[in-house]
Structure 1
Amino acid sequence: MLTTIGFLMILIFMVLIMTKKMTPLNALVLIPIIIALITGLGPNIGKMMKHGVIEIALTGIMLIFAILYFSLMIDTGLFDPLVNLIIKIVGDNPVKTTLGTALLTSLVSLDGDGSSTYLIVVAAMLPLYKKQGMNPLILTCIIMLAGGIMNILPWGGPTARVMSSLKMGHTEIFVPMLPLMLIGLIWVFIVAYILGVKEKKRILKHGKYNRYSTQDISGEKDTSLLRPKLIIVNLLLTLGLMTVMILDIIPLGIAFMIAFCLASVINYPKTSDQSKIISKHAGNALAVGGMIFGAGIFTGILNETGIMQAMGNTIIDIIPKSLDSYLSIITAVCSVPLTFFLTNDAYYFGILPILTATGHHLGIPPEILGRASLVGQASHLLSPLVPSTYLLVSLAGVDFGDHLKFTLKWAIGSSVVMLLAAIIIGII
């Protein structure tokens, strides 16, 4: 019963946003509430939603102030040298631009934080896509694919959860995944090349894409806000912020809040200019923040009602006993839908222990199942349950439903490539 409700809830959500019958925010908030009330799960719905919002609060704060901080840095011109360098390298060539997007995302993703990766890469690459008249959905697709592979880094989140859940180190879980990540990145570059060639042909035949949103992070350049003399100061402040993030000195949301306030005072001593910055980017920050807290309500109801756990257990129960010896491959295959429909916490702390307990009776080492469970990360970032996904589409000025439809087949391709490579290499 709970499993049916859960899949029904997510299916309705996906259909409504892909057909543009509802905005993601409205769907995230209203669908779980309505279904919970109809199915009799509503008596404690207030506490469920509150718990979900509290769980995601720091993430929401982080994204709001990350947008404000990086938007401010874009206004000051901090990223202009990087953008100019990329423009010089790629020229007016869509193929080079898509390959450059894949390379830049792969490098920036080394910090392990998806949100900062999206902010930096979109800020650097979107002006190029606009200049060349390229479809911004290609930008979000490539960033998502490259980010999904790099998300396997130990400090990226999923791998850390696997190591924590199985009480193992990075040598057993992560190190054997390195060849697989390399193959995954090669696939991403192949996709980037294919999309670049297709877009180049489309532009020659139909002309430039010009339906950009006015709400993307690049916006219109206001030369009065440029601060070229403070570029070193701003770079040091940004590097300091990244250091704080990597060392986990203070919560990242608070770090971004402090950094934004410092950057505002340093670059714009006049309070009128500080207010101008906030007003200029408040709409974008609020739009993302709203969706993040909406996602908190959605996941709060899924978690607190036991729906998420039931969905995972049902999928495990479907596996025939005759296929027990193929548990590692089944785990890898199932990790694709499970990491899409469940949060990483629900999957790695709720489902993976059940799989490893089963594997123990069959003589399958837990590290093999741990590595198999990471294969699905190639498409995980496309999930509507990942908060940073809404940040990406908002920054690029594209619709979430359009992004989902455009990227889905390529994300599934990533998962298939990763699965086949894992089997051939023998790491699962």
Structure 2
Amino acid sequence: MLSIIGIITILVIVTLLISGRVSPIVAMVLPPIFAMFVAGYSFNDLGVFFSDGINSVISVAIMFIFAIIFFGIMQDVGLFEPIINKMVALSRGNVVLVAVVTVIIAVIAQLDGSGASTFLISITALLPLYVRLGMNPYLLLLLVAGAAAIVNMIPWGGPLGRVASVLETDVTELWYPLIKIQVIGIFLMLALAVGMGFREKRLIEKRKATGQTLKIDLSNSILNDESDETLKRPKLLWANALLALIILGILMSGLLPAGLAFLIGVAIALPLNYRTPKEQMGRIQAHASNALTMASIIIAAGLFLGILNGTGMLTAIANDAVKVLPSFLAQYLHIIIGVLGVPFDLLLSTDAYYFALFPVVEQIGLTYGIDSLSTAYAMIIGNIVGTFVSPLAPAVWLALGLSGLEMGKHLKYSFFWMWGLSITMLFIAVLLGVIQI
């Protein structure tokens, strides 16, 4: 009975998340509470499940709040702009170099863990250049999407925080084995950029020879929006760069908890760049919306997981699934789900994938002796590359709005390249021992 209730609950949550009719908070709070009462538990049990769930995710929620505010301030002061502007200037006229620089810019821009800001920075800087050189703007989306997704394995990027919440583990510890996969992934993206750059160069030459042009309609683009120059602090560039490097160094060394490191970073960055309390609070308020949105989703997930774990629903689902799943297939379930990770991006939101699907796969894997971390890494690597080709990712719609391009054509141009990259990285992770079989 618990298994049936649990499966129905997860299906309801996934359906609500896919539909987009309600926020993730509604989807992950109301259905599990209703299911808990149906299973015969009381209000007292609900309080216990909530406390257990919150204890497992509170450190992740705190980290998200201050990481987003910190990197938001770094963007406000213009920390990344000189680097990006220099690379844009150096690459003018060379199609292959422009493609390579696109990947580098996306990698730098995604360090704040926000896909929205990455597309905002990359497209604003590079789309006019692509148009001027006659390059396909869908190539720009492909390269930015792939590079940003790989960098998004950072602890404050989102997916790792969700997995850490489910496994009740430290998000930075979860990240360490993925660093080498990220490095390899970035080199793979650079190689893809070179290959696609030469391909694009041939297409441009062919169009010139036949007198054709690549018609690009930018009438729907909103690239004319200007950033607030009054917030930038060019004279404090090196001070901000040093601060960012110190905070990242502390994070990678594990010297302090991630949330505390970013809290200290925010406390230093505010008076360093903005003198009055009003200006400082203004920067916090400007980024509080994004920070609290992610933190509230993490807390809602804590309740959801607390109920499913506390009632024993996940264990019941896993045990019953084992009875009907062929053993030769079940022992490779994490690899199978990893291979299908990018297609899952078209069907499941990030929350549904990590909060609804992952816990079930992880429990089944444990039954067959598959380590939870192997399941986590297989599902992260297999899925994350496709994050920004999914219509369920809000940042993708921002990218399309900025560029005036179409979702259908973006999917057609980018989907199979991203799926191939995902499978390649999954295979490399198995060879390196990050994922155990």
Instruction: Indicate how the Cα distance of structure 1 residues 95 and 37 shifts in structure 2: closer, same or farther if over 3 A, else same.
Output: farther
Task: Report which stretch shifted further, 76-85 or 343-352.
Answer: 343-352
Paired residue for 1:377? 380
What secondary structure sits across from 1:356 in the alignment? coil
Instruction: Indicate how the Cα distance of structure 1 residues 250 and 417 shifts in structure 2: closer, same or farther if over 3 A, else same.
Output: closer
Q: How many residues align?
A: 382
Q: 1:208 aligns with which of 218, 223, 230?
A: 218
| Matched-pair contact (CA < 8 Å) for 1:68–1:281 | yes
Question: Where in structure 2 are the equivalents of 1:194-205 lying within 5 Å?
Answer: none
| Matched-pair contact (CA < 8 Å) for 1:75–1:226 | yes
- The gaps in structure 1 that reach 5 residues or longer are 166-173, 214-218, 358-365
Instruction: Indicate how the Cα distance of structure 1 residues 103 and 79 shifts in structure 2: closer, same or farther if over 3 A, else same.
Output: closer
Instruction: Indicate how the Cα distance of structure 1 residues 283 and 320 shifts in structure 2: closer, same or farther if over 3 A, else same.
Output: closer
Question: Where in structure 2 are the equivalents of 1:29-428 lying within 5 Å?
Answer: 29-43=29-43, 44-88=45-89, 100=101, 102=103, 116=113, 121=118, 124-125=121-122, 127-128=124-125, 141-143=145-147, 145-147=149-151, 182=184, 186=188, 207-208=217-218, 210=220, 221-321=227-327, 323=328, 327=331, 329-334=332-337, 340=353, 351-356=364-369, 374-381=377-384, 393=394, 416-417=423-424, 428=437
- Partner amino acid, structure 2, of 1:142: G
| Matched-pair contact (CA < 8 Å) for 1:382–1:408 | no
| Matched-pair contact (CA < 8 Å) for 1:69–1:259 | yes
1:11 equivalent to 2:11? Answer yes
Instruction: Indicate how the Cα distance of structure 1 residues 159 and 30 shifts in structure 2: closer, same or farther if over 3 A, else same.
Output: closer
What secondary structure sits across from 2:368 in the alignment? helix
- Give the deviation of 1:299 after TM superposition: 2.2
Query: Whole-Å Cα distance in 2 between the matches of residues 59 and 425 of structure 1?
Result: 28
Paired residue for 1:360? none
Deviations 1:382-403 (A, max 9, x none): 899xxxx9xx85798589xx99
| Matched-pair contact (CA < 8 Å) for 2:17–2:24 | yes
- Give the deviation of 1:72 after TM superposition: 0.8
- Give the deviation of 1:277 after TM superposition: 1.2
What secondary structure sits across from 1:282 in the alignment? helix
Query: Whole-Å Cα distance in 2 between the matches of residues 180 and 70 of structure 1?
Result: 20
Query: Whole-Å Cα distance in 1 between the matches of residues 182 and 271 of structure 2?
Result: 45
Query: Whole-Å Cα distance in 2 between the matches of residues 318 and 272 of structure 1?
Result: 61
Query: Whole-Å Cα distance in 2 between the matches of residues 23 and 278 of structure 1?
Result: 23
Query: Whole-Å Cα distance in 2 between the matches of residues 34 and 192 of structure 1?
Result: 53
| Matched-pair contact (CA < 8 Å) for 1:126–1:139 | no
Instruction: Indicate how the Cα distance of structure 1 residues 69 and 32 shifts in structure 2: closer, same or farther if over 3 A, else same.
Output: same
- Partner amino acid, structure 2, of 1:53: I
Query: Whole-Å Cα distance in 2 between the matches of residues 184 and 25 of structure 1?
Result: 33
Instruction: Indicate how the Cα distance of structure 1 residues 50 and 336 shifts in structure 2: closer, same or farther if over 3 A, else same.
Output: farther
- Give the deviation of 1:211 after TM superposition: 7.2
| Matched-pair contact (CA < 8 Å) for 2:29–2:300 | yes
| Matched-pair contact (CA < 8 Å) for 1:302–1:308 | yes
Query: Whole-Å Cα distance in 2 between the matches of residues 394 and 233 of structure 1?
Result: 30
| Matched-pair contact (CA < 8 Å) for 2:378–2:426 | yes
| Matched-pair contact (CA < 8 Å) for 2:381–2:426 | no
- Partner amino acid, structure 1, of 2:325: I
- Partner amino acid, structure 1, of 2:249: T
- Partner amino acid, structure 2, of 1:236: L
- Give the deviation of 1:314 after TM superposition: 3.7
Query: Whole-Å Cα distance in 1 between the matches of residues 5 and 397 of structure 2?
Result: 33
Task: State percent identity of aligned pairs.
Answer: 24
- Give the deviation of 1:416 after TM superposition: 4.8
1:25 equivalent to 2:21? Answer no
- Give the deviation of 1:66 after TM superposition: 1.1
Query: Whole-Å Cα distance in 2 between the matches of residues 335 and 39 of structure 1?
Result: 32
